Structure 1
């Protein structure tokens, strides 16, 4: 996505005393924003917290056996948390025992993929000849969507793009192509491949002609 409109790790470095890892983005509330940040950057918060907790645990050890046992358990728990957040947990056979995408709240990438899937599919099933009410409702939906999308700077970018190129809701094809154009603007900024908008129905509604999706 484009650079954050309201905050970046650099913008907030003074307030966080360098606590944020590279790539981390703060939300409007001044706290790290999971849905604005990729998982690799987000996981570094967990690692940092676990190291700090482990260090504090060691420093607070007492000479009693009970305290030593408690601190050892605390350090072990911190290490386990760090491994889990980093996606590094493994089973006895060496296989991964932790699936970030299936078990955790979405990061920017996961949320983005799910959102585009929804938007393209919605456009693919939009009426061929929508009524005036349906057109108005779609405009309202997209306007509301751009206000409440969880990634703040992504939402701001969409609002700006919609001012320049308002949603085209006069027909199913126009909406689908408009949505494809919006997606490709993001793809281009991220250095990703541009999607062929001529294949919209094949991808989001009908499936490929060879029937492999049937």
Structure 2
């Protein structure tokens, strides 16, 4: 069981990087000589909440767009199980709990590629609204995540 101190530590996956950085204990700052590069955030750091969210949504939307057009009963059941298990283990606890509640109200629709992609887009838009972000036009999910934009800008 984690100690009280460990429980109070912010989870990087639950906190955006700027908030997380402010919560850290001050560290000794060294000034680099003019000919040495200054310290910058490394590219191989653990994902913060925003990076994790963007990566996760990208993966999930891609998965939905590549889902079979006519899945078998087993594939349909497995995909529904996947989303329920995913919601239990998502690394950002507040996000996971929120997603668990949302999919209780709106269970995964897995009978076709179109149905799954639309369902997932609606779940994503629910999160976007909560975060004050623009909603995505769900009629364009396959253009965004499978085929590329119709203007050829992805070719």
- TM-score, normalised to structure 1, is 0.65
Matches within 5 A, 1:1-214: 29-46=7-24, 48-50=25-27, 78-80=28-30, 92=34, 97-100=39-42, 102-214=43-155
Superposed displacement of residue 30, structure 1: 3.6
Q: Kindly tell me: are residues 99 and 49 of structure 1, through their superposed partners in 2, closer, same or farther at Cα, counting changes over 3 Å?
A: closer
Q: Whole-Å Cα distance in 1 between the matches of residues 132 and 36 of structure 2?
A: 34
Q: Do 1:90 and 1:98's aligned partners in 2 also have CA atoms closer than 8 Å?
A: no
1:14-50 Cα offsets, whole Å, 9 max, x none, are x88xxxxxxxxxx8x343111111111101133x332
Q: Do 1:121 and 1:205's aligned partners in 2 also have CA atoms closer than 8 Å?
A: yes
Higher relative contact order (CA 8 A, sep 6+): 2
Give SS of 1:98's match: coil
1:176-208 Cα offsets, whole Å, 9 max, x none, are 000000000010011110100111111000001
- TM-score, normalised to structure 2, is 0.88
Q: Whole-Å Cα distance in 2 between the matches of residues 97 and 91 of structure 1?
A: 12
Aligned length: 152
Give SS of 2:134's match: coil
Give SS of 2:70's match: coil
Q: Whole-Å Cα distance in 2 between the matches of residues 193 and 150 of structure 1?
A: 24
Q: Do 1:146 and 1:155's aligned partners in 2 also have CA atoms closer than 8 Å?
A: yes
